[in-house]
Structure 1
C-alpha cells in the first residue's frame, strides 16, 4: 500500500474525531487529508505538517463559521474528490466522509464515529418535533438518509468506535463492523496525588446532553461543588436556574482539563454517547464516572469498579449515585489500569493490523463483510 489518502468531514473544531484523525495520520504521515472545510489556525496549531485538501466550500464567505448550514450540499462535494490511483482510502466519518467514491481497486476502510445522528435516531433531539422539523424533513432530511444508506456501500470495511455505534451501522446500513475504541492520551492524562474537590461535567451545553438534570441534582448537595466545562446555547438558561455550588468555566485548555479530572470525585455523563471520551480520559486520571444507562460510555465503565451506571437519567438516580461516590471508595490505580489498553500506540498497532487483514483479503477478491461474519458473533472487538 504505497498510496494512501485520509478523509475527514471537516477541520473546524478540535474534538475527539479530529484527535483520531491525527493519530491515523501518524500511521501514514505522507497521506493527504481530504476535508470539506478547514480552519487555517486550527491546522497551524494541531496539524502543521499535514497536506490538507479542502473542497471549494472553503472559499465560500462565512463557510467556516456557518458550515453546519451547508449540510445539504456536503454529499455533492465529497463525491467530487478525485481519489483515483490510491491503494487505500481511510475515512474518519461522523457525517459524510464515508461517502467518497474510490476506485474499484482501492480498499476503503471507514473508522466511523457514528452514522449521522441528526438524520437518524437522534433527529428529534437536534431538530425538535415542530414545524421546523417538518420543513427540514420535507426539504432534505429524507433525501440525506437515502444518500447515507446508498453511500455506505462504497465502504469495504467499517470499524466502529464502540459496540453501540456498531449496532447503529448494522441497523441503518445493514453492514457489520469491527469495534476498536478510539485512542486516548494515556501519557498526558495521568493520576495525581491530590484529594478530590469537586464533581465534573465536560460537555456541550445542548438539550440532548441532559445537563439540566445534573445541575438540579446538586441542589441537594449545597456544600459539594460541581464544575461545568463547556459551552453552548443552553448555558445562560442553565446558569440562571443553577444552585450556587455550580461553577461554570466554559472552554478550557488541555492542561486545565487534566487538573480538573485529577481533582474530581467523579465525572458525570448522563447522555447517550457514541463512546464517551470524557469517561476514558477521567479514568486515565484515576477518577470514576457516573454514566447513563444507554450508549457507548457504558462500555468503558465497569459498574462499582470504575464508576456507576445509572438505572435511569433522573434527579433521584443521580443524587443516589453522587452519594455513593461521596461515601464509597474507588481505587484510582484499578481505574487507571482499565484504560491502559486505550493508548495511542496500541490503537495504531491494532488499526494497522485491521488494515493489513482487510488488504490481504481484499486483494484476493474476498468479501470483507462475509469474512467478518465467519469470525462468528458481531460486532467483534479488535484486540
Structure 2
C-alpha cells in the first residue's frame, strides 16, 4: 500500500482552502497532515487528521501570527522527514511546496496560487505599514528563494485556470486544472425555513482584499438589506461604515453550516466582490438555488454563467456594483439552473478527476525521468 502524506501551509483558520483539505482527506483518510503551525482552538475541523508540525509550533505566539514566519517558513518545512512516504501532496499558497522529499517519493503540489505576497498580490502587500517595508527591502531575495522552492515538486495541479496561468507565468511550470468541490450538504433538499427573503448576502473573511466594503457601500446607497457572515481584521471598520443607516446591514459573525445553508437559500443573491483564485462560496450559493453577483475577474468567471446563474460587474467600484444591482432587479433567475451548475463540482466528481489527474502527472514525470 502506498504511504501518503498531506502538507499544508498552516492549520489555524477555516476557509475555502481548509474545506479543500478536508476533501483530500476523504480521498486519503489515513494520510497524516504536516504543517508549519497548528492552533487547535481556531481549527477544530483538523481533529480528523493526525497533525504533525514543525518546531515553530513550540512557540504558541506564532500559531496565531503566522505572517511573522515568512522569512523562515520554507526552512522550517525543510526539517520535516518524508522518508517513509511514497507520495506527498502539498496544498499551498505559499511555503508547503518547500518540503524536501527523498528519491523515489513523488511530490505533487496542488497549488492554490503562487506565493501571493511575492507575485500576483505584491503591489497590494507592499502598501501595508509594517509588512510593506519588509517586502520592499527583501522582495527580490524572497522571490529567488520562492522560485528555488517551486522546483521541488515533481508536478503541479492548479485549482483554476486563473491559477494555472500564474503558475506558468511565475514558476514556468505547466499545471492541469482540477476544480475544488463543494460539500454535498449544500446540494441536499432545502430546509423548511428556506423561503426567499428580501436581503442580499456576503459570506467571507472580513479582510481587505475580500472588498466587503464595496458590498456594504453599494447596499447602503441602494437602500438594500445586506447580511454578512464571517469575521476578520476589518470587522470593526466595516461595522463603522454600516452605521450610516442603522439596521440595514447585519453582521452575524461565524455560523454553523446549517445556518449558512439556510441563509444561502433565503437570500436574493450572494454578492462576491473580490478577485479570487477560485472561490467556493459562489458554488455553495448556486447549489442552494441562489444566483451570484460577482466581480468579473478570477475564478468566478469559471463557476458562474453570466445572466443564467448570476451577473458580473466590471470594476471594483461602488458605482459598478450599484449598476449591476439595478440590472439584477430587472431579471429573473431559475434556481434549477443554479443547482445544475453547482452539480458539476461535486465531491464525487472531484475524487475521480483528482485521482485521474494525479495518475497522469505521475506517469508523465516517470516518462520524462526515463527520457532524461
- Any idea what the Cα deviations from partners look like across 1:257-302, whole Å, max 9, x if unmatched? 1111111111111211011111111011111111112111111111
Match of 1:52 in 2: 51
Q: How does 1:91-110 map to 2 (within 5 A)?
A: 91-110=90-109
Deviation at 1:195, TM superposition (A): 1.7
Distance in 1, Cα, partners of 2:328 & 2:277: 24
- Any idea what the Cα deviations from partners look like across 1:99-139, whole Å, max 9, x if unmatched? 1111232211111111121121212323407675234321x
Distance in 2, Cα, partners of 1:337 & 1:106: 39
Match of 1:141 in 2: 139
Q: How many residues align?
A: 366
Structure 2 residue 195 is matched with structure 1 residue 194: yes
Match of 1:21 in 2: 21
Deviates more, 1:118-127 or 1:292-301: 118-127
Match of 1:376 in 2: none
1:160/1:166 contact within 8 Å kept:
yes
1:266/1:325 contact within 8 Å kept:
no
Deviation at 1:84, TM superposition (A): 1.8
Question: Which TM-score applies when normalising by structure 2?
Answer: 0.92
**Structure 1 SS opposite 2:251:** strand
Match of 2:3 in 1: 3
2:155/2:362 contact within 8 Å kept:
no
Deviates more, 1:96-105 or 1:314-323: 314-323
Structure 2 residue 258 is matched with structure 1 residue 259: no
Deviation at 1:253, TM superposition (A): 1.9
Match of 1:247 in 2: 250
**Structure 1 SS opposite 2:135:** helix
- Any idea what the Cα deviations from partners look like across 1:186-237, whole Å, max 9, x if unmatched? 3334463522331011122222222222211112332x31111222232222
**Structure 2 SS opposite 1:166:** helix
Match of 2:237 in 1: 237
**Structure 2 SS opposite 1:68:** helix
Deviation at 1:323, TM superposition (A): 2.1
Unaligned runs of 5+ in 2: none
Q: Which of 171, 174, 180 is matched with 1:182 structurally?
A: 180
Structure 2 residue 344 is matched with structure 1 residue 341: yes
Match of 2:211 in 1: 210
Q: Which of 309, 312, 322 is matched with 2:315 structurally?
A: 312
Deviates more, 1:118-127 or 1:278-287: 118-127
Deviation at 1:359, TM superposition (A): 2.8
Distance in 2, Cα, partners of 1:281 & 1:121: 26
Match of 1:158 in 2: 156
Q: How does 1:64-79 map to 2 (within 5 A)?
A: 64-79=63-78
Structure 1 residues 323 and 33, CA gap change in structure 2 (3 angstroms): same
Match of 1:111 in 2: 110
Deviation at 1:180, TM superposition (A): 1.0
Structure 1 residues 290 and 233, CA gap change in structure 2 (3 angstroms): same
**Structure 2 SS opposite 1:303:** coil
- Any idea what the Cα deviations from partners look like across 1:17-75, whole Å, max 9, x if unmatched? 122112212222222211111123466x4243422211111111312122221221101
- Any idea what the Cα deviations from partners look like across 1:331-352, whole Å, max 9, x if unmatched? 0111110111211121111111
Deviates more, 1:65-74 or 1:358-367: 358-367
Question: Which TM-score applies when normalising by structure 1?
Answer: 0.89
1:85/1:103 contact within 8 Å kept:
no
Distance in 2, Cα, partners of 1:273 & 1:191: 28
C-alpha RMSD of the superposition: 2.2
Distance in 1, Cα, partners of 2:186 & 2:53: 30
**Structure 2 SS opposite 1:274:** coil
Q: How does 1:348-367 map to 2 (within 5 A)?
A: 348-366=351-369
1:91/1:111 contact within 8 Å kept:
yes
Unaligned runs of 5+ in 1: 371-383
